[in-house]
A and B are shown apart, each in its own frame.
Chain A
């Protein structure tokens, strides 16, 4: 089964893609001896890479998003639903999930 990417991974992919473009621009600017190559480096290289850096930090701060929280909550519920010694099931933590948070099978 193919696992869908959470928000953190999607943001990391976007940041990596921006870095790839920025690096390609930087590499081209280094190999071309022309006054405009410096400008190209500033506009494409520096701008994209710094933006990708900030976006990466933002992604780390925001975390994996709702999908990951649901995954964790579901896992936690499964653990707490294990039958106890007396055979009685007493869920300790029961996160309240709104319908939009319910994962598709």
Chain B
């Protein structure tokens, strides 16, 4: 099956051939056919390739592995495997509330017009800190987490709308939706990654090897050597049938 990347590489190869021809035989542009070739090879196709390659890079940079390719972020990635339903990112990740391959981006983008590009501009700053600047000791959000990102999925969901804690007092739901009451910092869902305390929590190791990505195993092996094996909770399915779903764990989302 031809992937978009394969198609893009094929277009690049064709354009390269045209441009190399023009470099060695520029006199070919003397005729109208040559001029058309030059217009295609120097103007039209490079523009098309720039757009397609930019989109491909944007999609690549949304991948969980891409975010965790910086060593600093590995502990945040590992926090997705915390065996505690109080950890909001872990609950979402382990129960497939967010796509596993885009786990970071799904919650850390802005659901606004050009929100994806704003997130990637912040990513450029992260790259600057990683390679040129100084990485801060504590990694914090650039700005308080906006309820908009939570409500992108939860708004209108029965489990959210009927939750008594959300509708407990008059106008509470409206305050949540207007971002006047923060989901994360109002004492309700206030444990996010908490990456500095990973040595005090238990981790869940999925039974299915497909859900134990390389970065997870690497991090376990190298970055957090101080985590004792006894802190890793293996899926109950490991001792029973191999066909168990990774969702069948004790760590299920309550709302």
Contacts and interface: CB of A to CB of B under 8 A. Distances in A.
Contacts, number: 101
Majority secondary structure of chain A interface residues (helix, strand, loop or mixed): helix
How big is the B interface, by class?
35 or more
B29 interface: yes
Given A35-B66, A35-B69, A35-B130, A12 B53 contact: no
Interface string A20-33: 10111011011001
A45 B53 contact: yes
Interface string A55-76: 0110000000000000000000
B49 A49 contact: yes
A57 B43 CA distance: 8
Contact of A19 (B19, B26, B57, B130): B19
B205 to A, nearest CB: 25
A39 B128 CA distance: 10
B130 A16 contact: no
B54 interface: yes
Contacts of B22: 12-13, 16
A102 to B, nearest CB: 23
A34 B43 contact: no
Given A12-B38, A53-B43, A46 B50 contact: yes
Majority secondary structure of chain B interface residues (helix, strand, loop or mixed): helix
B127 A35 contact: yes
Interface string B29-70: 110000000100111001101100110110011000110011
B47 A53 contact: yes
A36 B131 CA distance: 9
B53 to A, nearest CB: 5
Interface in B124-152: 124, 127, 130-131
A17 B16 CA distance: 10
Interface of B: 5, 8-9, 12, 15-16, 19-20, 22-23, 26-27, 29-30, 38, 41-43, 46-47, 49-50, 53-54, 56-57, 60-61, 65-66, 69-70, 124, 127, 130-131
Interface of A: 3, 5, 8-10, 12-13, 15-17, 19-20, 22-24, 26-27, 29-30, 33-39, 41, 45-46, 49-50, 52-53, 56-57
9 contacts: A9-B30, A10-B26, A16-B22, A16-B23, A20-B20, A26-B49, A33-B66, A35-B66, A56-B42
Top 8 A-B pairs, shortest CB-CB distance: A16-B22, A13-B26, A9-B26, A49-B46, A16-B19, A56-B42, A19-B19, A16-B23
